[in-house]
């Protein structure tokens, strides 16, 4: 069993209960001689700096808080677990009243690690060459219309083959972890969270026989914006990036 010496806590400062809960957590650690630190989940750079030497990151918040913390953990490989302060908490393993029992399990080694597949993505301009933006997501990558209620036309390829040209509100490419989120709302299946597949689902597609496709992790999903008044790429539900007609978004399993 690994001796737990340092625990990090990422919290959502906009949640009323998050600050007192983080104080409870660090107090629990102090009594047991465990070093602890707390940082707001939105402080990506701060989390990346604090994570080295940390043996577990406990996230105090909802799914959005968890996903923001996960973006830092992808850069610095540290196990993380969620304590739900949100409304749904699909990604959390415990509720607020279970905080101390959860920390006791971590301290005593009564846990197992679950490896989760993440997604790597890139945005390319109309021509060939290096991408102008790269990113990593735990849940999903969404290519969608902008604020105006006008559909977009998306040409979607899986590997060397054309899947379809969708006239839709957008497209969701989800990991197994993200299959319970936006992908599920768009009609996609729920996957075993420990599997290694991608789910490709159009959002409110017009006259399309294809609702959702499960894709091998060895394949590259390619989405070209063929027609749009405005379009955005959303990464794990935040960080909307404008894209233009002719731009290409690629998504694959993070190896």
Task: Summarize pLDDT for 229-246 with one digit per residue, the tens.
Answer: 999 999 998 878 999 999
Measured CA to CA, the distance from residue 68 to residue 144 in angstroms comes to 21
Evaluate if residue 217 carries a pLDDT over 90.
Answer: yes
Evaluate if residue 90 carries a pLDDT over 90.
Answer: no
Question: Is 63 one of the annotated active-site residues of the chain?
Answer: yes
Strand partners of residue 121 = 135, 251
Which pLDDT does position 211 carry in this prediction? Answer: 87
Contacts (Cβ under 8 Å, ≥6 apart) of 40? 10, 11, 12, 13, 46
Residue identified by tokens 């959005």 is 64
Measured CA to CA, the distance from residue 97 to residue 22 in angstroms comes to 13
Contacts (Cβ under 8 Å, ≥6 apart) of 242? 146, 230, 231, 232
* 207 phi and psi angles, rounded to 5 deg: 50, 45
Strand partners of residue 67 = none
pTM: 0.89
- pLDDT tens column, 164-215: 999 999 999 999 999 999 999 999 999 999 999 999 999 999 988 888 999 9
Measured CA to CA, the distance from residue 163 to residue 200 in angstroms comes to 10
- pLDDT tens column, 101-153: 999 999 999 989 999 999 999 999 987 678 999 999 999 999 999 877 789 99
Give the 3-state secondary structure percentages of the chain, helix then strand then coil, rounded to 5. Answer: 20, 35, 40
- Which tokens sit at 125? 């301009």
Evaluate if residue 89 carries a pLDDT over 70.
Answer: no
Which pLDDT does position 153 carry in this prediction? Answer: 96
Evaluate if residue 255 carries a pLDDT over 80.
Answer: no
Which pLDDT does position 163 carry in this prediction? Answer: 95
Assess contact for 139 and 116: CB atoms under 8 A: no
- pLDDT tens column, 23-81: 999 999 999 999 999 999 999 999 999 999 999 999 998 888 999 999 999 889 999 99
Which of 63, 169, 236, 247 is the catalytic position? 63
Which pLDDT does position 128 carry in this prediction? Answer: 66
DSSP 3-state of 76: coil
| pLDDT above 90: percentage of residues in the chain | 75
Measured CA to CA, the distance from residue 80 to residue 51 in angstroms comes to 11
Assess contact for 62 and 89: CB atoms under 8 A: yes
Measured CA to CA, the distance from residue 231 to residue 244 in angstroms comes to 7
Which pLDDT does position 15 carry in this prediction? Answer: 84
Evaluate if residue 88 carries a pLDDT over 70.
Answer: no
* 46 phi and psi angles, rounded to 5 deg: -65, -40
Evaluate if residue 222 carries a pLDDT over 80.
Answer: yes
- Which tokens sit at 146? 């902008």
């Amino acid at each position: 069993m690994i001796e737990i010496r340092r625990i990090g806590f990422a919290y959502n400062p906009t949640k009323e209960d998050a600050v007192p809960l983080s104080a409870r957590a660090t107090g629990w650690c102090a009594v047991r001689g465990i070093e602890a630190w707390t940082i707001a989940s939105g402080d990506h750079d701060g989390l990346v700096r604090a994570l080295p030497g940390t043996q577990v990151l406990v996230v105090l918040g909802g799914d959005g808080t968890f996903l923001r913390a996960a973006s830092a953990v992808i850069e610095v490989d540290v196990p993380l677990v969620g304590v739900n302060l949100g409304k749904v908490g699909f990604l959390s393993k415990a509720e607020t009243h279970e905080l101390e029992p959860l920390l006791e399990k971590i301290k005593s080694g009564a846990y197992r690690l679950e490896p989760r597949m993440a997604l790597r993505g890139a945005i390319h301009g109309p021509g060939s060459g290096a991408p102008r933006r790269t990113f990593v997501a735990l849940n999903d990558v969404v290519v969608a219309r902008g604020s105006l209620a006008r559909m977009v036309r998306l040409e979607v390829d899986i590997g060397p083959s054309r899947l379809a040209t969708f006239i839709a509100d957008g497209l969701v490419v989800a990991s197994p972890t993200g299959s319970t989120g936006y992908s599920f709302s768009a009609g996609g299946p729920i996957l075993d969270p420990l599997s290694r597949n991608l789910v490709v689902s159009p959002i409110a597609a017009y006259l399309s026989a294809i609702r959702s496709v499960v894709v091998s992790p060895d394949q590259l999903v390619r989405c070209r914006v063929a027609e749009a008044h405005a379009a955005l790429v959303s990464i794990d539900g935040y960080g909307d990036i404008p894209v233009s007609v002719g731009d290409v978004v690629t998504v694959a399993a993070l190896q």
